[in-house]
Structure 1
């Protein structure tokens, strides 16, 4: 295999077979480790296509990988596989103000795309917590983030994709047009497929004019349940809210310590964090006042408009660092279950019951405006065997409850390898059969990211 890959890539500094860095053995969490057969670092689409064609002809599994910020094992190799590291395909190729699109390679980090389009007076709305994730990874998991309640998710901003198929053929799916009612939408099959149908090598993304004004606000509550119950009333009131996040005091304390920063308030035990944006500060203040009245009605202890830029940045930094803060103190299992919005309060309450039942700490936070509940199940000082036993039991209970509430095992992280057993246990058998049938058409030999998702 080494000789063939070197012939394709033509640079022994971009092909590793004998000595492979251990960072390629796992995902960001590093829980499961498997040594791949080879790693290649392509610099252009044709190299990706040639490697995939070689792998397909020889039935060698392919694992696409970007910044490796995933949390579900989607980039963990299988034995003998070739990892295609797309991180060097990291160029912003074009910005078109006439079509309001930016064309990027898959290895460009999200934060670079956001910063680039903002220099042009525009913004790219999808805003998942991990800004160093690559856009290829965002597309592969249909990443959402904090602004999804108003602006939607990655899928809503992808106009077209260049994709390398399992055969090595390069195809473009989607179109520059806003509407498309011409045949099956192959682009939307690729988005969220976690590298199982094809490898994205270029994306044309929609951008929007940057809002002229933005403001955040913070509302503390005595209990998390009060805060979550308030969210549905806010959504029913038809307030133009960009983001609604919920946080717990314990998680905030860990993040404060981790970053050395101080949260704007320590009242209560739970918080709702809001963002508003628009073309008029007068309208934004009106929306904020309306939310303030609703929060007060439902038990908020205070309502703080974060108009000071330093306080604003500090607050969102603390929110963004929760998972890292928890991980710095203990091994933890990250979960991103999503339920219908009107069932989110019920699910969050259930997580507290499960925490008590198994005597294991569970920190919750997440996107209250779209029902996406993030959980950190914390190991603490449990011995390995006891940790695994309790974790298995608590995961069974959580995913079962999510299913009962008509929810799904992932809102934005994807299924990957670690969530696969729970996903398959509750997924509709007919739907899984259809997915596997589609997989067989795109990838007859099953070489693309095998043993993942469905």
Structure 2
């Protein structure tokens, strides 16, 4: 077990010399720094918070903290859902939100270099001005790119283009010792030893602090269209999903969700976009499918083929969102699912389990079958194209301790079922401090020990983001 020291006034003075005017203590520390968006896993205020501006500042801070065995937690926008940026050991929080420059584009090699505090939304919009697309598309558009890389965020377009990992070419990292290293390169392929770059991606700030990223871009598709496809039941909707690949179609995004979660989102937005009744039949579930291509003729042919496919599979109708306004409305509803749930729910927990796409229907069926055993409601949606499912437990009339107890039993059951089906604990949100025990059950003692040993190689004093991913405090 790691032993940590307190932040003394003398250490605060040294930190203030490194980041003058940007070191906060006591009541000056922003309360947001005590948590991420899932406070049910626990909160704690740090002793010191620092708004960092450069690699050099972070390096100097880490040298002081490492020498004095002071725990450090790095954070960006704090939009995580697994408690990964919660400073559960106190100590120092380093925030990289002020490191928000898009540094340069290399249009010959289709890359962009950014600081970690750049927001996903800002890069997406700026890249489009260059005629380029940054494909990763997590639901939270105002998360930082450093946070996205630290959790290997996925998102809606992962079914066609892959997750964040597939777009990271290189990074500058400050190790817990304060040493500055570079992992990866701007080249498109490598077989040069162990991939330290890929080890950092998804490590949730436990191995090093990312201070610069070079990311891959692609030419932006010229035409995009979305289809809203209502079904009478969720099993009918999910059963359609494998048919797209079997028909050699390649959707950019392929989402599923139930009626109840859509209603929460539309009430939150104050705008109804999706039909709730078609031809006298109540809609129970939906698919939201997006295709992209180079010409309108290509897209028209795809839409015609897709419409025929889903109607043959039992869809009640097909609505085409073929203008920017219609697409914005459709995807705004999808992107606001979590906010809609949060607005209407006092107690909330979630998982983002991933299973083989062929087992989605079986897994969702299992979740629904055990829901009556518990005193909370279960709402689900997910990335049907890649098997990443978001399962939310929601309650307004339960005591906190009872809710946590029941949720733990529920989560244990569904994670065990996912493992049995060949799945994993997290598809994109990460492990943080909220999912460690479920990860250990899923991957086993040997794999957890390997991860712990890797952590100790990078961070012998265990000061960086302690108590996350692979070991508990």
Q: In 2, distance between residues paired with 1:375 and 1:130?
A: 17
Q: Which segment drifts farther, 381-390 or 348-357? A: 381-390
Deviation at 1:145, TM superposition (A): 0.2
Deviation at 1:264, TM superposition (A): 3.3
Match of residue 109, structure 1, among 79, 97, 119: 119
User: Does the 8 Å contact 2:73/2:465 carry over to 1?
Assistant: yes
* CA RMSD across the alignment: 1.3
User: Does the 8 Å contact 1:159/1:175 carry over to 2?
Assistant: yes
Within a 5 Å distance, the mapping from 1:78-89 to structure 2 comes to: 78-89=88-99
Deviation at 1:29, TM superposition (A): 2.8
In structure 1, the gaps of 5 or more residues are none
Q: Counterpart of 1:28? A: 37
- Moved >6 Å (runs of 4+): none
* 2:178 is equivalent to residue 171 of structure 1: no
Q: Which segment drifts farther, 331-340 or 407-416? A: 331-340
* 2:401 is equivalent to residue 394 of structure 1: no
Q: In 1, distance between residues paired with 2:328 and 2:339?
A: 17
Post-superposition CA distance 1:10-61 (Å, at most 9, x none): 3553112233222211112333121212111111110101111111111111
> Secondary structure of 2:139's match?
coil
Deviation at 1:385, TM superposition (A): 3.2
Post-superposition CA distance 1:282-335 (Å, at most 9, x none): 222222222222211211001111124322211111111111101101122122
Q: Counterpart of 1:290? A: 305
Within a 5 Å distance, the mapping from 1:216-255 to structure 2 comes to: 216-255=226-265
Within a 5 Å distance, the mapping from 1:54-453 to structure 2 comes to: 54-267=64-277, 268-330=283-345, 331-453=347-469
User: Does the 8 Å contact 1:252/1:263 carry over to 2?
Assistant: no
User: Does the 8 Å contact 1:240/1:287 carry over to 2?
Assistant: no
User: Does the 8 Å contact 1:323/1:376 carry over to 2?
Assistant: no
Q: In 2, distance between residues paired with 1:362 and 1:315?
A: 23
User: Does the 8 Å contact 1:221/1:299 carry over to 2?
Assistant: yes
User: Does the 8 Å contact 1:56/1:447 carry over to 2?
Assistant: yes
Deviation at 1:359, TM superposition (A): 4.2
> Secondary structure of 2:154's match?
coil
Q: Counterpart of 1:16? A: 24
Q: In 1, distance between residues paired with 2:199 and 2:400?
A: 39
Q: In 2, distance between residues paired with 1:44 and 1:214?
A: 38
> Secondary structure of 2:248's match?
coil
Q: TM-score, normalised by structure 2?
A: 0.93
Q: In 2, distance between residues paired with 1:112 and 1:2?
A: 38
Q: In 1, distance between residues paired with 2:23 and 2:79?
A: 22
Q: Counterpart of 2:11? A: 4
User: Does the 8 Å contact 2:15/2:23 carry over to 1?
Assistant: no
Q: Which segment drifts farther, 108-117 or 428-437? A: 428-437
Q: Which segment drifts farther, 51-60 or 378-387? A: 378-387
In structure 2, the gaps of 5 or more residues are 1-7, 278-282
User: Does the 8 Å contact 1:9/1:42 carry over to 2?
Assistant: no
Deviation at 1:8, TM superposition (A): 4.0
